[in-house]
Structure formats: C-alpha cells, structure tokens
Amino acid sequence: MPSPVHGAIPLRPCACDPVGSRGRRIREPPAPWRDDYQRDRDRIVHSTAFRRLVYKTQVFLNHEGDLFRTRLTHSLEVAQLARAIARPLGLNETLCEAIALAHDLGHTPFGHAGQEALDACLREVDSHGAGFEHNFQSLRVVDVLEQRYPAFDGLNLTFETREGILKHCSLHHARALEVAEPGGVGRRFIERTRPSLEAQICNVADEIAYSAHDIDDGVRSGLVTMQQLLEVPTLREVHDAVRAEHSAANGRRMLFEVIRRTLSKQVHDLVDASARRLDAAVPATPDDARRLPPMILFGEDVAREVREIKAFLRLNLYRHPRVVATTDVGRKVIRDLFHAYVDRPNEMPQEHAVREPRPAAVVDYVAGMTDRFALREHERLHGPGVTAALRHVLDGGTGVAPAD
C-alpha cells in the first residue's frame, strides 16, 4: 500500500468513481469544475437540514454546555475520519465526505430517545407501518424534504451518496423504495448485498467518532471519571504508555492524548486490516465489492477493544441517571408534540397541516425540529412545565419524572 503522506494515491478499481456513477434520479448537466460527488457534498453543506444539526443532541442536550458535541460537530468528525481512512485505501474521499456529512440529517431532536419516541408514536397510530427509522428519514430529507430547486424536490444527489446515507433500512421501507425506484437504493436490503466501500467506511468512521468523542464529553460533563476510564484495559494500556513518555501529563492533556492515540490506533488498524482484505479479494469494480462480504473491518484485537469501549460507554454514560433523565424529558416532548399535532394539525405550518396521511406529515415536521425549537413548541402548546423539569435535571436533579 502506498504511503498516505506522499502525494496522490491512485484510486482502486473498486473505488466509486464519479465518472462511473449510476447518476442522479433527474438528469442534470455536469458542473464545469466539480465532479458529481463534490457537487453532492456542496449541496448537503448548503442544505437547511445540515444547519439544523448544530442544535440537535448527540448525547448531551444542547442546553448542557457549549463544548459538547452536537450532531453537526459529530458529522464533521465523521467526515474527517472517513476521509482519513479512504485516502490510504485508495477509495473515494469526496464520496465519503458527502455521505458522512449527510448521515445524520434525519435525526430527530433529543438523539436516540427522540427517535424511539417518534417510532413508538407512529406505531401506535399505524401498527402495520414500518415505524420511524432515522436512516430512512435522512434519505427522505435529501430526496424529498429539502426544497431548494425549482425543478425537483430534495437535493437530487447521486445514487452512491444516497446509498451511503441509507445505512439501515427495514424490509418494509426497502420494498416501498423498490416500488418507487426499481433497482435503486432499497434493492440491497432485499438482496442482502453490501453498500459501496465508501459507505462501509462511513459506517465504521461513525462508530470510531462517537466512541472517542463520547469519552471526551463524558469526562467533560463529570459523569465519567478518568479513574473509571482506566477500567477499560485498552485505555489503561494507552494511558500507561503516555505516562511513561510524559510523566507530568495530567488532566485534560492526558485525556486528549489517550483519546488521540486510541483514535489513531483504530484508524491505522482499520486501514491495514481492510487493505489486506481488499488485496486478497481484489474486487475489480464497485459492484464486485458490493457482492463481497464486508471489507472495511477492524482486525480481531482492535475489534475487541472497540467493543470494550462501547460496552463501557453504554454502562457508564448512556445509562447514567442524568443522561437518562434528560432523554426522558426529550422523549416526553416528542410524544406530546406528535399527539398535539395529530389532534390539531393547524398548530403546524400550513404546508404540513394540509398533508395526508397526517401522522407522516407530523413525523416529518417533528423529526426536522432542533432540540430548542421542540422545547419552545412544547412550551407554547403545553406551558412551561417541561422546560422547568429539564432545568431541574440539568441543575443536578436526576430521575425526576418530568412535570406535565
């Protein structure tokens, strides 16, 4: 494998190439200076949904402080990592960047709690439906919900970017996509093939990014201590190596160095292990790679370490009583808004109020909200109780059922 620091690395034949793209759903003349994946990335950056990511929760609510990750900074970190992985592998950096920047566009306010609440609401009113899936919603954002062009809905992105955005998809949604677009982005969930190698990179880059930044945010919030982190054998090992080299390193510098080295270790291992797989399988085209088993994977040892870190975060951060208490408030806000708009659609802007079926219109409206807009709407419709409950949790109270 060529060294990533010396000049341009040629694309592998299995890399997605904009010249061989399956193209856009609506044909457009080529741009004079940009290839189709650059153009996709630029459309995503200029979209309204992208700007909203700055006020959407990753793990910590937007209200908890200015230095925590939001969906926007998370997406930027995923894009950085995905490019850093794609380049030495000879895969398409720009496509990775476009997919990574768009991968969370369909996330509801209040992180996973918001998503679960919206899913439960939708299933209550339509028990035979597919419920709410944030990856499917991300695709809806770029295919339908963004309204910026006179000639079409959505951003009219290339197949390869849309394929990468649709990371998971239930069979129910996949079949609906297949009807609307035969042989399109839903097909692989029916045929059980893989997405492009660039899409596979973004999926792993997402995991690497959130594990690393959730450690940082976890310690910053005071919910996790350095001492606890050292219970994870791989983090202890990295910490001890830093200590051996920098005996005075402490506090945040020590934490950053542990995170930095852990990130580097994961990225280097992923690149090495994936390059070995690709060198052995030698897929000749992007479609060949789609028919192979997953190629972008860690080696065995680092895969185990990544699992250990994720298990630690699940136990000590995501299930921390304060995180649970804040996300319970988020869940309630989403639930209340959904039912309020289904019962009184005219509380929504006209373009949403007139749409049928109504639950789907409500889902699109609520999913698009930022955390703070959702809270403001809740206060408008239900009074200040929930905001007070949230303030109570953020001031140190936990496990309190949010007031009605």
Contact residues toward Mg ion (CB under 5 A) are 104, 206
Minimum CB distance to Mg ion smaller for 93 or for 104:
104
Residue nearest to Mg ion as judged by C-beta position: 206
Q: How far is the CB of 187 from Mg ion (least distance, A)?
A: 24
Whose Cβ is closer to Mg ion: residue 35's or residue 206's?
Answer: 206
Of 57 and 156, which CB lies nearer to Mg ion in the complex structure? 57
Alpha helices, H only, 282-348: 286-291, 300-313, 321-343
Nearer to Mg ion, 213 or 239 (CB): 213
Distance CA 371, CA 145 (A): 19
Nearer to Mg ion among residue 51 and residue 291 (C-beta):
51
Least distance to Mg ion from the beta carbon of 74, Å?
6
Work out how close the CB of 69 gets to Mg ion at its nearest, in angstroms, rounded to a whole number: 10
Nearer to Mg ion, 72 or 91 (CB): 72
Based on CB atoms, which residue is closest to Mg ion, 103 or 331?
103
Are 69 and 55 in contact by the 8 Å Cβ rule? The answer is no
Q: Cβ 382 to Mg ion, closest distance in Å?
A: 30
Q: How far apart are CA 296 and CA 345, in angstroms?
A: 45
Contacts of 20 (CB under 8 A, 6+ apart): 286
CB of 206 to Mg ion, least distance (A): 4
Least distance CB 346 / Mg ion (angstroms): 35
C-alpha span between 144 and 270 (Å, rounded) = 35
CB closer to Mg ion, 105 vs 325 = 105
Tokens 């995170």 identify what position? Answer: 259
Nearest approach, Cβ of 103 to Mg ion (angstroms)?
6
Phi, psi of 12 (to 5 degrees): -70, 155
What number of H helices and E strands is found in the chain?
20, 0
Q: Say if residues 58 and 68 touch (Cβ distance below 8 Å).
A: yes
Sign for the pseudo-dihedral over CA of 305, 276, 185, 75: positive
Q: In the chain, how long is the greatest CA-to-CA distance?
A: 65
Taking the CB of residue 300, how many other CB atoms lie within 10 A of it? 10
| Neighbour count for residue 372 (Cβ, 10 Å) | 14
* In the complex, minimum distance from the CB of residue 171 to Mg ion, in angstroms, rounded to a whole number: 23
The Cα 344–Cα 358 span in angstroms is: 10
- What is d(CA 279, CA 354) in angstroms, rounded to the nearest whole number? 55
Compare residues 105 and 363 and give the one whose CB is closer to Mg ion. 105
Overall size of the chain counted in residues: 404
To 5 degrees, how large is the angle CA 225–CA 231–CA 233?
130
Minimum CB distance to Mg ion, residue 278 (Å): 24
